[in-house]
Amino acid sequence: MIVVHHLNNSRSQRILWLLEELGLEYEIKKYQRDPKTMLAPPELRAVHPLGKSPVVQDGDLVVAESGAIIEYLVDRYGAALAPAAGTPERLRYTYFLHYAEGSAMPPLLLKLVFDRVESSPAPFFVRPIARAIANKVKDTFVLPQIRQHLAYLEGELGKRTWFAGDAFSAADIQMSFPLEAAAARGGLAAQYPNLVAFLDKIHARPAYRRALERGGQYDFVK
């Protein structure tokens, strides 16, 4: 039995969705973030030394990192969710599996960090300085980077139906998290119709909805 160590409002929601798309049986062990720090609880370190989610156990095998988990599950159980080897679609598939976390997520995480710096309680004489620094970093680096990535992705989905090609693949599952995060933080609007349409399509998929029912509250969904 596959076991998913699932943290609320996290990347592990993608793994539940993938398993639903593959039609596999699985068990969920749920963990809740600390409401103050938003970090995973220490119990996850008993599963993997970094104490982060997602982590999947399949028999004696323990796999961490969303991209590695997706590659493992697709290679072992669901080759239909990956384009054929040696095709241009397969190269795009591999690219977006890595791009989602390697390129798309860092500026979104930086925005989250500096938003918290801006809004966190601080002594009155420090608060204006902290806010000024946070605003400067966001305006000069973080937000331009986010807009650049969103414009790039908008263009990619203007060329083809899904990220790898004309067929839905696990790359679309991997790409869902950064785009849902961007949408939740006000980053998607009328200038990104292809990205909005992508989110509408994935949210309508029966497997996506089943994963939400099993995984519980997921605040990145718009």
Concatenated DSSP letters of 101-135: IIIIHHHHHHHHHHHHHHHS---TTTHHHHHHHHH
Say how far apart CA 44 and CA 69 lie, in whole Å.
17
| Per-residue model confidence (pLDDT) at position 221 | 44
Whether the bond into 54 is cis, omega within 30 of 0: yes
| Per-residue model confidence (pLDDT) at position 23 | 96
Per-residue pLDDT at 122 exceeds 70: no
Say how far apart CA 22 and CA 183 lie, in whole Å.
26
Per-residue tokens: 47: 């599963």
Q: What is the CATH number of domain 88-205?
A: 1.20.1050.10
Whether the CB-CB separation of 18 and 212 falls below 8 Å is answered with: no
| Per-residue model confidence (pLDDT) at position 207 | 98
Kindly list the domain boundaries of the chain, sorted by start residue. Answer: 2-81+211-215, 88-205
Average pLDDT, the chain: 88
Per-residue pLDDT at 119 exceeds 80: no
Per-residue pLDDT at 222 exceeds 50: no
Q: What is the CATH number of domain 2-81+211-215?
A: 3.40.30.10
If phi > 0 it is left, if psi is from -120 to 50 it is alpha, else beta; for residue 123 that is beta
Confidence bin at 163 (pLDDT 50/70/90):
very high
Q: Which of 193, 14, 178, 159 is nearest to 88 (CA)?
A: 159
pLDDT, tens only, 17-67: 999 999 999 999 988 777 776 677 788 788 888 878 899 999 999 999 999
pLDDT, tens only, 125-161: 556 766 777 778 877 888 999 999 999 999 999 999 9
Q: In a 3-state reduction of DSSP, which class is residue 99?
A: helix
Confidence bin at 8 (pLDDT 50/70/90):
confident
**CA distance readout (Å), 198 to 24, 121, 131, 161:** 25, 37, 34, 9
| Per-residue model confidence (pLDDT) at position 123 | 66
pLDDT, tens only, 62-87: 999 999 999 999 999 988 999 999 99
pLDDT, tens only, 83-117: 999 999 999 999 999 999 999 999 998 888 877 77
